[in-house]
Amino acid sequence: MSNRSRPDHFTLKARKMGYPARSVFKLEEIQKKWSLIKRGKPVLDVGAAPGSWTLFALRTLGKGACVSAVDLKPLTIKAPPGTILRFRQGDVFTPESADFLAEGGLYGCVLSDVAPSTSGNRLVDARKSWNLVMRVIDLAEEHLTPGGNLVVKIFQGGDENEVKARIKALFREVKTFKPKAVRSESMEIYIIGKGFMGLNQENQL
């Protein structure tokens, strides 16, 4: 068994807590530091399968929570009693998904752990990740409520500074963070935007 396929401490702990993936601990750390998910505010989770982040958001928000999630693949989780999980299986950037997103928002927080299928070529993969993240920021601009928060995953090695600059122009605060649960060999980092300034006029409710 390779190091990658052997369940590590985070994987075992995730299973014990009912989460399908170890990635939950990345969001848990981000939430502890920046409280991006706020009670009473709906959440959008982009690239949600198998569903650890979605389940974490539902549990964090508690009774009355509403999380909208989109992924090409199915979720393997069940919403806790008293919470609402809206799920669409498909590409998040299609017009059909746009309708689904609009029906669940405006959102207090947009989470994106979305990742491209990887080729093994770091530059190519970083470029694909950059493209996805820029499109997720477009979605956040359209569907976040003023004051809302954003977290996006990006593969380092491309133009992550450009992503950071764009988030800086839209949010009051920007942070870059590599959670402990990110594997040491991984090129992923998370960029956080706090306090959406609501530049999109339609968002000025």
Ligand X SMILES: C[S@@+](CC[C@H](N)C(=O)[O-])C[C@H]1O[C@@H](n2cnc3c(N)ncnc32)[C@H](O)[C@@H]1O
Give the footprint of ligand X on this chain (CB under 6 A).
Answer: 21, 23-24, 47-53, 70-73, 91-93, 113-115
DSSP, residue by residue, 102-145: HHH-SEEEEEE---PPP-S-HHHHHHHHHHHHHHHHHHHHHHEE
CB of 76 to ligand X, least distance (A): 8
Distance CA(110)–CA(98), nearest Å, equals 14
CB of 97 to ligand X, least distance (A): 8
Residue nearest to ligand X (CB): 47
Residue linked to tokens 């949010």: 171
Nearer to ligand X, 72 or 169 (CB): 72
Candidates 153, 175, 178, 180; catalytic one: 153
User: What is the number of other CB atoms lying within 10 angstroms of the CB of residue 115?
Assistant: 17
CB of 146 to ligand X, least distance (A): 25
Nearer to ligand X, 159 or 188 (CB): 188
41 noted as active-site residue:
no
Nearer to ligand X, 46 or 198 (CB): 46
CB contact at 8 A, 39 and 109: no
Distance CA(72)–CA(122), nearest Å, equals 23
Residues with catalytic roles: 153
